[in-house]
């Protein structure tokens, strides 16, 4: 683990809350920073700005099986292209019982992770880009990140 005091050059971090939330199109998410001015972030030490937008986080991963959980790492490029990078699927019951943990996905090259979205599929599969992020078929948790956490989610 590198502490900020050890960071000599560069640095890829999110400098404010992105305000991840469900979008108007319920199969997508959005950025809605609580400051109302968007989100500042750095990639390799250079600062950038992401304006808030609706429907700007699109899930394109493969179908997530019923009863499984996945962390999707939300990453942004210097050109404000956002991707949702899926992590490893884990049985939700195994996470709840403490048998397994959810590990954070790796950020893609030249991007800054600004948040993550945990999707726990219920009795039905979660179909990326189709299934609504609300309602009885999935449970969704949004995380605003400074950087990718160094410890997995244990519950």
Strands 68-76 and 112-121: antiparallel
Q: What is the pLDDT of residue 137?
A: 86
Per-block mean pLDDT, blocks of 10 residues, the chain (155 long): 61 95 96 95 96 95 92 97 96 95 95 97 92 89 96 91
Q: What is the pLDDT of residue 148?
A: 95
Decide: helix, strand or coil at residue 97. helix
Contact criterion met (CB below 8 Å) for 44 and 77:
no
């Amino acid at each position: 683990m590198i502490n900020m005091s050890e960071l000599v050059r560069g640095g890829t971090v999110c400098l404010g809350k992105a305000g991840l939330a469900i979008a108007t199109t319920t199969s997508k998410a959005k950025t809605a920073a609580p400051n109302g001015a968007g989100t500042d972030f750095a990639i390799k030490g250079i600062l950038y700005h992401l304006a808030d937008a609706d429907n700007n986080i699109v899930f394109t991963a493969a179908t997530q099986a019923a009863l499984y959980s996945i962390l999707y790492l939300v990453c942004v490029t210097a050109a404000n292209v956002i991707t949702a990078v899926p992590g490893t699927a884990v049985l939700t019951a195994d996470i709840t019982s403490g048998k397994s943990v959810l590990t954070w996905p790796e950020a893609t090259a030249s991007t800054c992770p600004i948040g993550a979205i945990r999707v726990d599929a219920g009795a039905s599969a979660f179909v990326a880009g189709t299934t609504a992020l609300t309602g009885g078929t999935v449970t969704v948790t949004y995380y605003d990140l400074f950087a990718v956490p160094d410890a997995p989610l244990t519950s």
